[in-house]
Amino acid sequence: MKKLTISIGLVAAMMMSCEKESYKVRNYTYPGDLENPTGIPQLAAGIHVYPGESDEDLIKRIREFEYYGKDFSDTIQFPYIFLSTDYYNCEQCPADNVKNPNPEYMLFPHSINSVSDEWGWEYLEEYRELGEQAFCDKYLNGERTLGMKLKSLTN
């Protein structure tokens, strides 16, 4: 019995001392009002991001599950899903910026990341100074974000 207690104690100590694998989470939003898909409210949730997973992979996974009774595979009820431009490492701050986010899933310029050097206030000001196409040419390989396609910032 004493050996069993010591063995269980050692196994428990080893398990507690093992480093947890770090992981990243990325927020996504969807419109609360389909009449104004770039406006308020934007309802949000987070999703675990696996190494090497693309924006398309994330959207596919989001569309495959239900969240509090919401069936995201229903593209009529949920036609737009926007991905944040940050990964949140649940063990450290600050968050990491997403490298080359896919503009097809971005709400920018209607939503910015005010706590980051990228896709924050400076990008918004540059967007306004350069104009939409010049900004897109510089940062998005000439592609407009979904937010830009849905509603011009000047409207």
Could you give the CA distance from residue 106 to residue 28 in angstroms, rounded to a whole number? 10
Helices 132-139, 121-130: crossing angle, 10 deg rounding? 120
Is the Cβ–Cβ distance between 82 and 111 less than 8 Å? yes
Spatial neighbors of 123 by CB under 8 A, at least 6 apart, are 108, 109, 112, 139
Looking at residue 21, its pLDDT comes to 57
Provide Rg for the chain, Cα atoms.
20
Q: Which residues of the chain have pLDDT under 70?
A: 1-22, 90-95, 154-155
pLDDT of residue 152: 82
> Which two structure tokens, joined as six digits, stand for 58?
């994330």
- Spans of all domains in the chain: 21-150
Predicted pLDDT at 155? 47
Confidence (pTM):
0.79
User: CA quadruple 124, 126, 128, 134: dihedral positive or negative?
Assistant: negative
Q: What is the pLDDT of residue 11?
A: 44
Listed residue (117, 47, 41, 52) closest to 88, CA to CA: 47
